[in-house]
Amino acid sequence: MSISKSSNASKVLVLPLKTQKISSSATNKLPFTHNVTLTVSMAVGTPPQNVTMVLDTGSELSWLQCNTTRINQPVFYPNRSSSYKPIPCSSTTCTTRTQDFSIPASCDSKNLCHAILSYADASSSEGNLAMDKFSIAGSNFSDTIFGCMDSGFSSNLDEDSKTTGLMGMNRGSLSFVSQMGFKKFSYCISASDFSGILLFGESNFTWLLPLNYTPLIQISVPLPYFDRVAYTVQLEGIKVSEKILQLPKSIFEPDHTGAGQTMVDSGTQFTFLLGPAYTALKNEFINQTGRALRVLEDPDFVFQGAFDLCFLVPLHVTRLPDLPPVSLVFRGAEIKVSSERLLYRVPGEVRGNDSVHCFTFGNSDLLAIEAYIIGHHHQQNIWMEFDLQNSRIGVAQVQCDVAGQRFGIFH
């Protein structure tokens, strides 16, 4: 069945969210890439072609790899779809609805709408805007606008070899959720078996704990470093155990250029804090774990270019010691990061008889990112509701594998 946009306000779609492990080389300075991405599966075109897309609340335009010369890598074949329609550069879609792209859309030699997308990890994607039918959880969405990409630079070839593209889910007019007309979407990521659920529509279930809401921050005047279509919230403080870090409120406020916003981003694995906040958290975490953890004293080792606080854990140890939780305090809500989510074992990194575990909060300054970013690793076992109609994000602690079973989703 084909769904009209206006009818989606009351509809609910549920589909599995899968977590995909990406192998990475164990060099001293790893590129800023993700070892884990969240993916969803659907079908595109007529007849339908199965695709796997990375779920990204930090991006607007959804896109698929359309370069059919790629060997042993998933691609979408536009010439095999009778419902595929390229978008001309003279259309209003190309001239007005691409205004939030970091690089303006342009005309190619065939007078088609050409887009170049760039991302924080220095990867980019380039191709044409087009429309086709997307089939998701048994419902069809015709004339969905997406990018059919034929070139680009990737910072993670292994990730590219497993996914066909990216599902843009931010607040821009061309994002997947905006085009489908849903007023809300939610997801829940399991910490145990790397799976979860993605839900479009209402999530007011009796078994779900009451959600704590934090308002989305919006600005009326465009600022050069402020992403107006991101899910921006107000970070008000950081706690280690119950000790609140002594930081001025101004540290968490965007400056006059817009730099310093706090974004909730499912397309980023870990969490990044601006320099002063990161340094204060790092020092307090070391202070509170001094008896339980040994710091790796190696200034040349910086995991993924931004994580310079790492610890040595004996290889025979199967369970980490008790660690003080780190809480991100927002206006009206809190995200508490505890136990194994605080440290990440670096694949393949061994020092003598010790493995290397890095603190999962990174320093934005080391990557020249002018923002706080809350990654999906710290959203595990939290019901994350994006309420577009009321411009807010709701959070509640929940066992996501159990939540998935309630919807009949088993991985």
8-state DSSP, 71: T
CA distance 309 to 110: 51
The C-alpha angle with vertex 209 and arms to 205 and 215, in degrees rounded to 5, equals 95
Count of helix runs (H) and strand runs (E) in the chain: 5, 28
**What is the DSSP pairing of strand 361-363 with strand 271-273?**
parallel
The answer to whether residue 227 is catalytic is no
Q: Facing residues of 197 across strands?
A: 16, 188
CA distance 19 to 361: 20
Q: Is the dihedral of CA 344, 349, 351, 352 positive or negative?
A: positive
| Helix intervals (H) in 73-223 | 92-95, 157-160, 176-180
In the chain, the amino acid numbered 406 is: R
Q: Which of 100, 121, 265, 308 is catalytic?
A: 265
The answer to whether residue 56 is catalytic is yes
Please give the radius of gyration of the chain, using alpha carbons only, rounded to the nearest integer.
21
**What is the DSSP pairing of strand 271-273 with strand 113-118?**
unpaired
CB 79 within 8 A of CB 188: no
CA distance 150 to 220: 35
Which residues belong to the active site? 56, 265
